[in-house]
């Protein structure tokens, strides 16, 4: 009975090992990935799946733990060799044999990379770094249709080569000049026999309280580097121009503080024809004001005067908005036609709860273009038509408006009209 139970337990353990995800796939790296690539992958994924950023998501929380496990195994040369040769089962046997493990708490590992308590800004007495604000410009069609894309910003990041210690070998010593306080007390003579004690940053350690014999070759001992970081950007339909999107704790990093927030201001690019069909629609040149869109349509004299025309305007999502006039329908210059439900989609946050999708209006302004040249025959025909109707029902506007035929004599100087 005991033998059968032992085999059953071993079988369950084997199934669990087989079900575990490959560590390289989990971190999204190749099997020949360098130490720096492993650290970079951990930095990106641990922030993405951190429980603070995915509240109530058990799958993300488990992913956060698994990512920490994968990092701990692959970053250590000995355990990585064992894993490459024997897989998850080899690592389990290594742990049972008392093999050393650097970390046990995934939050402790996270805090080593990003400072603080291992959480995103939940430590009461933690120092927070400054927020970082950037502008990201996208075309109007993305505000209309919605889109998922990416953007890249350059920021200060904790050096992944030394994990923010600034030391190539990880060894950091307490400064022997300031005793680790980062400040020293010096006496300054104000007058003969009169001295004053002042606090100053320690020159030897630069106020850090620690010294490094072998600085990290990547960051030069500064513990931080400048590097690009890519974020996913979700543009929702109808988002207003200039909307602020906040990425918590994604601003400049430092071992001395918890990173502030990255604040993205979403703005609209100037309209321009692109290369692909969907980038070359009439809607590319719409103008936006709030929930409404504006378009200027040009008509010839014949079209404005006589009607009998049709226009197909291609909207931002590719559908057609048809403009037309029947024969005999006149369009006056600068007339504005308002077409309902052809404007911007109204952002869901500006709608009442459970409201159906709504759109603003499209305002079409008609501009009439007169010909600057006419053929002689056309000019003669037009003149004949106009003369015929002028003689029949034409009016002289000067007479209708009572305008004088000669200049009006103005009052002499000094005349008081009051």
Give backbone dihedrals phi and psi of 7, rounded to 5 degrees, phi first: -65, -35
Q: According to the model, what pLDDT value does residue 269 have? A: 94
Cβ neighbour number for residue 151 with a 10 Å cutoff? 15
Q: According to the model, what pLDDT value does residue 248 have? A: 84
**Average pLDDT along the chain, 418 residues, taken 10 residues at a time:** 42 47 89 84 85 86 89 89 87 72 68 66 68 96 95 91 81 78 75 75 76 86 89 94 90 86 95 83 94 96 95 95 96 96 94 88 96 88 89 85 88 65
The number of angstroms, rounded, from the C-alpha of 21 to the middle of its chain's C-alpha atoms is: 31
Distance CA 252, CA 257 (A): 10
Cα dihedral value 194, 195, 196, 197, nearest 10: -160
Domains of the chain: 16-114 (1.10.287.110), 132-172+212-268 (2.60.260.20), 271-405 (2.60.260.20)
- Provide the b/e sequence for 291-320 (b: ≥16 CB within 10 Å): bbbbbebebeeebbeebebebebbbbeeee
Q: What is the pTM of this model?
A: 0.71
């Amino acid at each position: 009975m005991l033998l059968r139970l032992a085999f059953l337990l071993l079988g369950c353990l084997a199934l669990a090992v087989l079900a575990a995800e490959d560590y390289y796939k989990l971190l999204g790296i190749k099997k020949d990935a360098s130490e720096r690539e492993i650290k970079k992958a951990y930095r990106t994924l641990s922030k993405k799946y951190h429980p603070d950023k995915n509240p109530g998501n058990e799958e993300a929380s488990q992913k956060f733990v698994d990512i920490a496990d994968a990092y701990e195994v692959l970053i250590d040369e000995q355990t990585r060799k064992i894993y490459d040769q024997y897989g998850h089962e080899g690592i389990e046997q290594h742990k049972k044999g008392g093999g050393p493990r650097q970390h046990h708490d995934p939050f402790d590992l996270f805090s080593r990379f990003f400072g603080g308590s291992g959480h995103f800004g939940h430590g009461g007495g933690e120092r927070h770094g400054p927020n970082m604000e950037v502008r990201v410009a996208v075309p109007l069609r993305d505000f209309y249709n919605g889109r998922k894309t990416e953007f890249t910003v350059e920021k200060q990041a904790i050096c992944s080569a030394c994990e923010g210690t600034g030391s190539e070998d990880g060894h950091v010593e307490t400064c022997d000049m300031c005793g680790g306080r980062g400040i020293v007390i010096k006496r300054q003579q104000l007058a003969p026999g009169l001295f004053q004690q002042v606090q100053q940053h320690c020159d030897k350690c630069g106020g850090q309280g620690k010294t490094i014999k072998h600085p990290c070759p990547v960051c030069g001992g500064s513990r931080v580097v400048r590097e690009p970081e890519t974020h996913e950007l979700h543009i929702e339909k109808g988002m207003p121009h200039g909307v602020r999107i906040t990425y918590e704790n994604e601003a400049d990093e430092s071992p001395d503080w918890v990173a502030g927030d990255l604040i993205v201001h979403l703005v609209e690019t100037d309209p321009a024809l692109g290369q692909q069909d969907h980038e070359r629609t009439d809607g590319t040149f719409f103008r936006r004001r709030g929930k409404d869109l504006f378009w200027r349509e040009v008509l010839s004299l014949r079209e404005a005067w006589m009607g009998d025309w049709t226009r197909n305007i291609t909207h931002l999502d590719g559908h057609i908005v048809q403009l037309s006039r029947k024969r005999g329908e006149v369009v006056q210059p600068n007339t504005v036609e308002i077409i309902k439900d052809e404007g911007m989609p109204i952002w869901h946050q500006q709608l009442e709860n459970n409201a159906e999708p709504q759109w603003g209006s499209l305002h079409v302004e008609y501009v009439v273009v007169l010909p600057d040249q006419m053929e002689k025959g056309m000019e003669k025909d037009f003149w004949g038509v106009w003369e015929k109707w002028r003689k029949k029902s034409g009016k002289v506007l000067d007479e209708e408006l009572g305008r004088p035929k000669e200049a009006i004599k103005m009052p002499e100087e000094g005349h008081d009209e009051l």
